[in-house]
């Protein structure tokens, strides 16, 4: 796959994620894909297991992509994942093999108030 094809596949993936279309959301993964959540120490092996674990989550999820960047076999998506109205700033690192995701690592960060010590140099972002 060329870079524009991978970027288009990522856009379809995140749109399907936002729409709770679990079949379309997981078309991007290889059958033997591995998903890591380092903050909770979890690893999920296999496309079907990844899909099943996501479908079992009871929360209403929304995905707002902020930026997709990458080249070749390494792609990064920055997005806001909102669970039941509560945002979490998220980074997904996807490693592709033969045009499909072989490994994904996701990092999550809750919002926090800005530090007053740096206020004079800061502008607020949406």
- The reply to whether 117 falls in a domain is no
Q: How many domains does the chain have?
A: 1
- The reply to whether 67 falls in a domain is yes
Predicted pLDDT at 125: 83
Secondary structure E strands in 1-126? 29-37, 42-45, 61-71, 74-83, 86-97, 100-109
Predicted pLDDT at 15: 97
In the chain, % helix, strand, coil (3-state, to 5) comes to: 30, 45, 30
Predicted pLDDT at 33: 98
Predicted pLDDT at 62: 95
20: left (phi over 0), alpha (psi -120 to 50) or beta: left
Identify the CATH number of the domain in which residue 25 sits: 3.10.450.50
125: left (phi over 0), alpha (psi -120 to 50) or beta: beta
In tens, the pLDDT along 78-114 reads 999 998 899 999 999 999 999 999 999 999 998 888 8
- The reply to whether 120 falls in a domain is no
Residues lower than pLDDT 70 in the chain:
none
- The reply to whether 116 falls in a domain is no
**Residue in 70, 58, 65, 69 with CA at minimum distance from that of residue 12:** 65
- The reply to whether 119 falls in a domain is no
- The reply to whether 85 falls in a domain is yes
Predicted pLDDT at 77: 98
Predicted pLDDT at 54: 94
Domain hosting residue 70, numbered range: 3-111
């Amino acid at each position: 796959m060329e870079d524009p094809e991978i970027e288009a596949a990522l856009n379809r993936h995140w749109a399907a994620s936002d729409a709770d279309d679990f079949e379309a959301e997981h078309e991007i993964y290889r059958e033997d894909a591995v998903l890591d959540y380092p903050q909770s120490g979890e690893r999920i092996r296999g496309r079907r297991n990844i899909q099943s674990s996501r479908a079992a989550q009871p929360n209403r999820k929304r995905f707002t992509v902020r930026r997709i960047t990458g080249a070749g076999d390494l792609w990064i998506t920055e997005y806001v994942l909102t669970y039941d109205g509560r945002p979490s700033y998220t980074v997904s690192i996807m490693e592709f093999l033969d045009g499909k995701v072989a490994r994904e690592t996701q990092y999550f960060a809750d919002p926090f108030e800005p530090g007053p010590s740096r206020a004079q140099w800061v502008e607020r972002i949406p």
